[in-house]
Amino acid sequence: MIPVLKVLADGQVRSRRQLYDEVAAAERLSHEQKAIILDSGQAKYENRIGWAVTYLAKAKAIYRPSRGQQSITDVGRELLHKYPDGLVERDLRTVDGYESPRDRRQARKVLAEAAIEVPASDLDPIEQVETGIARINDGVATELIQRLHEREPAFFEQAVVDLVVAMGYGGADAKATRTQLSNDGGIDGIIDQDTLGLNRVYIQAKRYAPDSAVGRPDIQSFVGALHGQQANQGVFITTGRFSTGAVEYAAGVSTRVVLIDGQRLADLMIRYRVGVQAKRTLHIVEVDEDFFE
């Protein structure tokens, strides 16, 4: 909020776009910082500036002479003088007439139902929700790997084939085959990316404990199996992790081998809804400016 007030301190009226650019320049945000995107699709720095404007407007520290325009007020100048090094919402509560843009008690209730502890930070509400969802997903990811490890090998092999198809491989017909457990030649699944099966992806699936590593010999054997199929691409998936030697070998061999460890496997299953289902949908709303024109 202080960077926003500093930019507005000259008394000029600015658009939201001007604020984004001038605050970013004043704070010397790097290209990498400005490139950070939230799950909502909005740039993180723009999101933070937008919420700063919302809070400051509620405290009457800025006013909006017209849609999308803002300028500083005497209250804003007082806050800038009083809190030159940083301003958080609890400081705004000292301003007469301040009305919080969020109901903290309701927010705590919603997050508590999801078994999330509300962080004592200055994250804006969108970031708090995204942080909560990330924590839920972490717990689900851990359980997914545990459940996959408890089931029989055939179940795990079918699960990874289902995942690869859900990710969009398999062509329009979504044709995928799990090979037989015996005499599979080191191949656990085959994905046809076209109707005639001219372009195939071969899969190897290994259930390892989360703290156990797939070594270089396993990747070498998989590459050998691919060569036996006259294939040049494959995916090696495990519930464990890959050793440094395995990663280096996969990166250096001419055959294209993609390695997916347990953490990435769980993340992909959550993203593509394999082995999980949506429990609740949250709708985040904002005022429709067009309605009030």
- Does residue 162 sit in the same domain as residue 89? no
Q: Report if residue 146 sits inside a domain.
A: no
Q: Is residue 105 situated within a structural domain?
A: no
Q: How far is C-alpha 176 from the chain's CA centre?
A: 28
Work out the average pLDDT over 59-88: 88
Domain with 210 in it: 151-271
Q: Is the pLDDT of residue 182 over 60?
A: no
Q: What CATH number is associated with residue 213?
A: 3.40.1350.10
Residue 122 — very low, low, confident or very high, per pLDDT cuts 50/70/90? low
Answer yes or no: do 92 and 166 share one domain.
no
257 shares its domain with 194: yes
Whether residue 136 is contained in a domain is answered as no
Cα–Cα distance, 85 to 269 (Å, whole number): 44
**261, part of any domain:** yes
Residue 39 gets the label, from left (phi > 0), alpha (psi -120 to 50) or beta, of alpha
Domain total of the chain: 2
Distance CA 52, CA 81 (A): 17
**94 and 185: one domain?**
no
Domain-located, residue 280: no
CATH number assigned to the domain comprising residue 90: 1.10.10.10
Does any domain span residue 36? yes
pLDDT at 286 over 80: no
Mean pLDDT, the chain, whole residue set: 82
Same domain, 163 and 265: yes
Q: What number is the average pLDDT over the span 175-199?
A: 64
Whether residue 282 is contained in a domain is answered as no
Q: Are residues 248 and 160 in the same domain?
A: yes
Q: Half-sphere exposure of 252 toward its Cβ, with a 13 Å CA cutoff? A: 8
Residues 91 and 172 in one domain: no
Q: What percent of the chain has pLDDT over 70?
A: 82
The answer to whether the pTM exceeds 0.75 is no
Pair 156, 233 in one domain? yes
- Are residues 159 and 91 both part of a single domain? no
Query: Which has more pLDDT, 191 or 173?
Result: 191
Q: pLDDT higher for 224 or 172?
A: 224
Beta strand ranges found along the chain (DSSP E):
14-15, 62-63, 69-72, 175-178, 189-192, 200-206, 213-214, 233-238, 241-242, 256-260
Cβ pair 76, 39 in contact under 8 A:
no
Domain contains 284 = no
Same domain for 180 and 247? yes
Same-domain pairing of 66 and 156: no
